[in-house]
Structure 1
Amino acid sequence: MCGRFDQNDIARRFVAAFGWADAAIRSEAMPTVNAAPGTYRPIMHMEDGQLVVDDLFWGYRARWAAEKLPIAYNARLEKITNNYWGRLLKTGRALVPAYGWYEWTGEKGHRQPWHIHRKDREPIFMLALANFGPFKEHKAESGFVLITADSAGGMVDIHDRRPVCLNAADAAVWLDPDLSTEQAEMLARSMALGPEEFEWYKVSPALNRAGNDGEELIVPLAE
């Protein structure tokens, strides 16, 4: 986790679901049910005291690490205070709004995607770490990763890890620039929505191909 997510709505509706009256929406990305790593997706963050929605590259690698580390798409919650992620935890906290994410079961060549979402079908706000600003050599220098944690409980039958999601009120605290890195880590650990808040069902194997899109791909498959 997490290799794809469902972001099938315009940024302004996600902002409304977040409960904020206004935001600077600079996103031009189109809604998709099949957001994939290596693409530009809308993310929410604070800039000069204002909520902003920008399109950012899904994937991050520090410029100095170009010859040392692969591009990361997720960051483990257990490691977000280390030397590599700690700077972004301090200055680059962000949210990725979505309606759910995908996990796969089955053998290679017969992979079955599952759509995981809130039981009440409200948007989720996935915690992210991001580096904003222009890149010099590779677009992953200015990108984001999703924070993941151990799945725990019932969700482990689909996958052993999950994105860390908060409700809107706690997600707003995550964006507060005055929140210390220690407080941010504790918030992510203590307030993450648990497996009991989610449900999941099988969807079309056509989702296995990153370029495929369309709401018909997320219609529940008959058991």
Structure 2
Amino acid sequence: MCGRFDQSQTARYYASVFGWADALYDSAADPLYNVAPGTYRPLMHIQDGVRRVDDVFWSYRAKWAEGKVPICVNARMDKLANRYWAPLLKKGRAVVAAEGWYEWTGEKGHKQPWHIHRKDGQPLFMLAIGNFGTLDAQRAEHRAEAGFVLVTDDAAEGMLDIHDRRPVVLSAEDAALWLDPAISPEQAIELARQSALKPDQFEWHKVSPMLNRAGSDGPQVALPLED
């Protein structure tokens, strides 16, 4: 899964690296080292043929599912074709750029956070799906209806010591294909399965337990923790 991530560069920086310097921006979110669910974060998507970088609420629940389905922050890749996620997979594919994501090991009360990132230092382009309609997302009761979730998959060999699931990360080129409305939902799922970056392209280090508090931020929360 992914319950926090490091998005400590600006939205314009990530869009430039992605090759989207000409995108339409509607983002005022500040860079954060410790992004938590329930916040508005910049993500890249295509709406009505226009490349957009918008601040979107990280959490989602369909309006019809209130009282039936919990609010989600992730969606399993093997469930994307089901009734719940299929509409978002068809019209709401997105990419969240970040420096890394966090996972925890250890027992409750003694959880150790880890920062997971690319070995080459390049940004991660994490796959997401969301609802980018015209819902009144400013009203608290509607925020999760106009939100997004990160796509996750089983953690492959080499990452299981950290967690059994991980966000699906693609190269910039493959992530751009994921966004292309010309490819079908079935093709998008196959792309995600075949092109996800492998475990040997990542590395991780322990970080300070101060990360455990959602309000903690700053470069110190992402620095390697000395043993």
Q: TM-score range by the shorter chain?
A: over 0.9
Deviations 1:23-68 (A, max 9, x none): 1111101100000001111110012323210000000000010111
Q: Deviations over 1:76-115 (max 9, x none)?
A: 0010000100111000000000000000011111111000
Residue 7 of structure 1 corresponds to 7
Give the deviation of 1:216 after TM superposition.
Answer: 1.1
Say whether 1:201 aligns with 2:205: yes
Q: Write the distance in 1 (CA, Å) between the matches of 2:29 and 2:20.
A: 21
Q: Is 1:28 matched up with 2:28? A: yes
Residues 1:173 and 2:177 are matched in the alignment = yes
Matches of 1:221 and 1:206 in 2, distance apart? 11
Alignment of 1:131-210 (within 5 A): 131-135=131-135, 137-210=141-214
* Structure 1 Cα separation of the partners of residues 181 and 197 of structure 2: 22
Secondary structure at the counterpart of residue 154 of structure 1: coil
The letter for the 1-side match of 2:100 is: G
Structure 1 residue 17: deviation in Å? 1.1
Residue 220 (structure 1) aligns with = 224
Question: More displaced, 101-110 or 127-136?
Answer: 127-136
Counterparts of 2:51 and 2:170 in 1: how far apart (Å)? 17
CA distance in 1, matches of 2:172, 2:71: 29
2:190, 2:7 → 1: CA distance?
27
Alignment correspondent of 2:47: 47
Superposed counterparts of 1:79-90, under 5 Å: 79-90=79-90
Aligned-pair CA distance for 1:179: 0.8
Tell me what 1:112 maps to.
112
Contact 2:103–2:115 (CA under 8 A) maintained in structure 1: yes
Report the CA distance between 1:181 and its aligned residue.
Answer: 0.7
For the residues of structure 1 that align with 2:134 and 2:5, how far apart are their CA atoms? Answer: 25
CA shift for structure 1 position 153? 1.1
Match of 2:17 in 1: 17
Q: Secondary structure at the match of 1:157?
A: coil
Paired residues of 2:133 and 2:146 also in contact (CA < 8 A): yes
For 2:67, the equivalent position in structure 1 comes to 67
Separation (CA, whole Å) in 2 of partners of 1:195 and 1:161? 12
Q: Partner of 1:83: helix, strand, or coil? A: coil
The 8 Å contact of residues 12 and 21 in structure 2, kept in 1 or not, is answered as no
State whether residues 77 and 152 of structure 2, in contact with CA within 8 Å, keep that contact through their aligned partners in structure 1.
Answer: yes
Displacement of 1:189 in angstroms is 0.5
Aligned length: 223
Task: Tell me the CA shift for residue 222 of structure 1.
Answer: 1.4
Q: What CA distance in whole angstroms lies between the structure 2 residues aligned with 1:70 and 1:135? A: 19
Separation in structure 2 between the aligned mates of residue 100 and residue 162 of structure 1, nearest angstrom: 11
Distance 1:63 1:77 in 2: 22
What is the rounded CA distance, in whole Å, between the counterparts of 2:99 and 2:226 in structure 1?
21
Name which of structure 1's ranges 134-143 and 63-72 shifts more when overlaid on structure 2: 134-143
**What is the CA–CA distance in structure 2 between the aligned matches of 1:181 and 1:158, rounded to whole Å?**
30
